[in-house]
Amino acid sequence: RRILVTGGTGLVGKAIEKVVADGEGRPDEEWIFVSSRDADLTSAAETKALFEQHKPTHVIHLAAMVGGLFKNIRYNLDFWRRNIHINDNVLHSAYETGVQKVVSCLSTCIFPDKTTYPIDETMIHNGPPHSSNFGYSYAKRMIDIQNRGYFEQHGCRFTAVIPTNVFGPHDNFNIEDGHVLPGLIHKVYLAKQNGSALTVWGTGKPRRQFIYSLDLARLFLWVLREYDEVEPIILSVGEEDEVSIREAAEAIVEAMDFRGELLFDTTKADGQFKKTASNAKLRRYLPGFQFTPFRQAVKETCAWFSTNYANARK
C-alpha cells in the first residue's frame, strides 16, 4: 500500500505521521506526506502530476483552505472556490490513476445551522449551514456528493470522516485567523509573558466537542484500513464530553499556570452556540476506543506550543 496524505504538514497530517512513526504503521504500508510546497492542488495539472509521480493506492485527503470564524466571515468566496478546486482535482486524479480508497476530511461546521441535536451522519444536507462560513461548509459538503457520484458511476471506494473541533501540536496558533483552542493557547502564552489579563472573545458560553489530533490520527488509520462505507462517519468524543469555551479557557489557564485575570469581550461574535454531534456510529464500530482526557490533551498541546514557540504557525 502506498498511502498519499495531502495536507500532510498540517495539524492532522503531522498527527498521522507521528502515530505511524510511533508504531501504528504496518510493514506493507509506505506513507507519503505532501504539502502545498509539493503541488498546488488548486491546479488540475499539478495534482495529476503529483498522483502520477507517487502512484498511491490509498489517499488521505486533508488539504484545504481553512481558518477560524473571523477569517471565514471575511473570505467566504475564497473558501468556496479554493476548496472546490482542491477537492475536485484530488478526487478526479484519484479516480483517473486507479486509487483504491480515498478518505477525505469534512468538518462539523458543514451541518445545518437550524437543526435538532445531537447531529448525526444522515443530517448533513438537511438545510443551509451557518452563514458565517457558508463557502467552506458547502465546499466540504460537496465532497460527500462527489463520493456518492464516484461510487455510483465508477464503483470507487471514496469516503469521508467528520471530526469535531480538532486541536493538538502543529496547529495554526494565529490569534486572528486560527481556531478557538490554539488561539486561546497563544493568548494565554502572551498574557503570561506580558503580565496582562487574558481576554477571551465572546461570552465563553458556546459549547464544543474537542478531539485531540493524536486520537483523530488513530481513528483515521482505522477508517483507512477497516471502514468500508461510502457514507461518512463522525469522529468525535461523546456528547457528554462537550465543553464550553470558558471551560476550555480555564483548562489552558491551568495547563500554562497563568495567574492573571480572565475577561470576556462580549462585543465579539460567539459563532454557533453548539454543534453537538453524535458518535453513536463510531461507537457501534469501536465500542472500546479510548480518547485522551481533554485536560491531558490540552496540557500536552500547551507544552508543545511553549517548547516550539519560535517555529509554530502563528
At 84-140, the pLDDT tens digits run 999 999 999 999 999 999 999 998 889 998 999 999 999 999 999 988 889 999 999
Question: Can you tell me the distance from the alpha carbon of 158 to that of 251, in angstroms, rounded to the nearest whole number?
Answer: 38
Question: Can you tell me the distance from the alpha carbon of 263 to that of 7, in angstroms, rounded to the nearest whole number?
Answer: 35
What mean pLDDT value characterizes the chain?
93
Residue pLDDT, tens place only, 237-289: 999 999 999 999 999 999 999 988 888 998 887 777 888 999 999 999 999 99
pLDDT at 35: 94
What ranges make up the beta strands (E) of the chain?
A: 2-6, 30-33, 58-61, 101-105, 157-163, 165-167, 198-201, 207-208, 210-212, 233-235, 243-244, 262-265
Task: Give the three cell numbers for residue 172.
Answer: 495554526
Residue 24: pLDDT band with limits 50, 70, 90: confident
Domain ranges of the chain: 2-167+210-239
Question: Can you tell me the distance from the alpha carbon of 149 to that of 238, in angstroms, rounded to the nearest whole number?
Answer: 31
Kindly report the number of other CB atoms within 10 A of residue 194's CB atom.
9
Query: Any alpha helices (H) in 75-201, and if so which ranges?
Result: 76-96, 134-154, 180-194
The question of whether 285 is a catalytic residue gets the answer: no
CA 314 to chain centre: 17
Residue pLDDT, tens place only, 288-301: 999 999 999 999 99
From the candidate CATH numbers 2.40.30.10, 3.40.50.720, 2.40.50.140, 3.40.50.20, the one assigned to the domain spanning 2-167+210-239 = 3.40.50.720
Q: Which of 75, 95, 117, 136 is catalytic?
A: 136
Q: Is the pLDDT of residue 68 over 70?
A: no
pLDDT at 70: 61
